[in-house]
Amino acid sequence: MTMRDGMVLAASTPVAPGIESLILRSGRVSEADWSTVFTEAAPYGRLADELIARGLLGAAAVEVLTQTAVFDAIFAIALGGVTSCTAEQAAPDDLPPLLPADPGLETDRVVRETHRRLEAAAGWQAFGLSIHSRPAPVEAERSPALAPSREAILATVNGRVSTRDIAFSLGRGLYSVLSDLAILLKDGLVTIDPPVSGRAGTQDGAVRLEDILADEPRIEAPDDGPPPESPREPDPGPPEKAVAGLPRRRRRRGRKSATTKDDT
């Protein structure tokens, strides 16, 4: 996590899609356009300005995407558990965040949003839904009003790919995918840890729709992206192929514990 003057500028973790995945794998910007803009603007810290100037993203979209990346990464880090946190001054040779959430997010707001997401995730985990779950489709009649974002998830689930894999594949936030999977699970369109073929649905860890309806009359899926005071994350476009051959950024060798950089 990178901070400046007490404000959160950026955060990243291998567990959740970063800003590049949110932009590229969602189809918002083509690989060719991204590569051109990255080469010309990233070394000078002008990536956001160049994306806007070329008409590849609007200013509002950049704001939403950068904030979504921050909230999602911190949620994923907190979900895994943090035992220690070390603050260290940014070194002169440290690369700045690729697309920071300028002018930064207030820490109180980040804490409130992370707490809200963790509470929702705890409720879903009680029914087997987590970032490691491997949802499988259920043969059922689908509503014609099914949201495109959930249609995309249904086209991806197969009982083998995890929730995290789905988020990376579609270029969507991890929390956003969990939210939609919770709704699909409630609606009986996906199942978690389905029983082995030929056996009754009593497999350990199996989740049945009737269990959810009995214990949780309604699973609410909080809005994706930043809290209400910021614009909501736009619907992602169609899934793109995994990005390959993009310019590589040099990374510092991090610590095992969560590290907060003060970019002052």
Answer yes or no: is 221 within a domain. no
Q: Are residues 145 and 76 both part of a single domain?
A: no
Answer yes or no: is 224 within a domain. no
Q: Are residues 140 and 80 both part of a single domain?
A: no
Percent of the chain residues past pLDDT 90, beyond the cut: 55
Q: Are residues 91 and 126 both part of a single domain?
A: no
Q: Are residues 156 and 209 both part of a single domain?
A: yes
Domain count, the chain: 2
Q: Are residues 57 and 137 both part of a single domain?
A: no
Q: Are residues 98 and 126 both part of a single domain?
A: no
Per-residue tokens: 117: 């997401």
DSSP the chain: -EEETTEEEE---TTS--HHHHHHTTTSS-HHHHHHHHHHHGGGT-HHHHHHHTTSS-HHHHHHHHHHHHHHHHHHHHHH--S-EEEEEPPTTPPPPSS--TT-EEHHHHHHHHHHHHHHHHHHHTTT-STT--EEE---PPPTT--HHHHHHHTT--SSS-HHHHHHHHT--HHHHHHHHHHHHHTTSEEESPPPTTS-S--TT---HHHHHHH-S----PPSSS-TTSPPPPPP-S--PPP-SPPPPP-----SSEEEEE--
pTM: 0.70
Q: How far apart are CA 240 and CA 170, in angstroms?
A: 7
- Closest by Cα among 95, 98, 38 to 251: 95
Answer yes or no: is 181 within a domain. yes
Q: Are residues 6 and 95 both part of a single domain?
A: yes
pLDDT above 80 for 262 = no
Answer yes or no: is 115 within a domain. no
Sequence-separated (6 or more) residues with CB below 8 Å from residue 157: 135, 136, 137, 166, 190
pLDDT above 90 for 239 = no
Q: Are residues 17 and 45 both part of a single domain?
A: yes
pLDDT above 70 for 256 = no
Report pLDDT for 205. Answer: 37
For residue range 34-44, list pLDDT tens digits in order.
Answer: 999 999 998 88
User: Given pLDDT bands bounded at 50, 70 and 90, which one contains residue 232?
Assistant: very low
Mean pLDDT of 71-93: 88
Answer yes or no: is 150 within a domain. yes
Answer yes or no: is 228 within a domain. no
Answer yes or no: is 64 within a domain. yes
Q: Are residues 99 and 10 both part of a single domain?
A: yes
For residue range 145-158, list pLDDT tens digits in order.
Answer: 788 999 999 999 99
Q: How far apart are CA 1 and CA 227, in angstroms?
A: 19
Per-residue tokens: 15: 């567990």
* Between residues 55 and 249, the one the model is more confident about: 55
CB 25 within 8 A of CB 91: no
Name the average pLDDT for the chain: 79
For residue range 126-136, list pLDDT tens digits in order.
Answer: 889 999 999 99
Report pLDDT for 12. Answer: 92
User: Which structural domain, as residue segments, surrounds residue 36?
Assistant: 2-105+236-262
Report pLDDT for 87. Answer: 85
Report pLDDT for 90. Answer: 83
Report pLDDT for 84. Answer: 81
Report pLDDT for 116. Answer: 96
Instruction: Write down how long the chain is.
Output: 264
Residue 87 corresponds to which amino acid? A
Answer yes or no: is 112 within a domain. no
pLDDT above 50 for 140 = yes
For residue range 170-206, list pLDDT tens digits in order.
Answer: 999 999 999 999 999 999 999 986 444 433 333 333 3
Percent of the chain residues past pLDDT 70, beyond the cut: 71
Q: Are residues 40 and 127 both part of a single domain?
A: no
Q: Are residues 132 and 211 both part of a single domain?
A: yes
* Between residues 97 and 177, the one the model is more confident about: 177
Q: Are residues 98 and 30 both part of a single domain?
A: yes
Q: Is the peptide bond before 103 cis (omega within 30 degrees of 0)?
A: yes
Query: Tell me, what CATH number does 188's domain have?
Result: 1.10.10
Instruction: Tell me the CA end-to-end span of the chain in Å, nearest whole number.
Output: 13
* Between residues 178 and 240, the one the model is more confident about: 178
Q: How far apart are CA 238 and CA 218, in angstroms?
A: 29
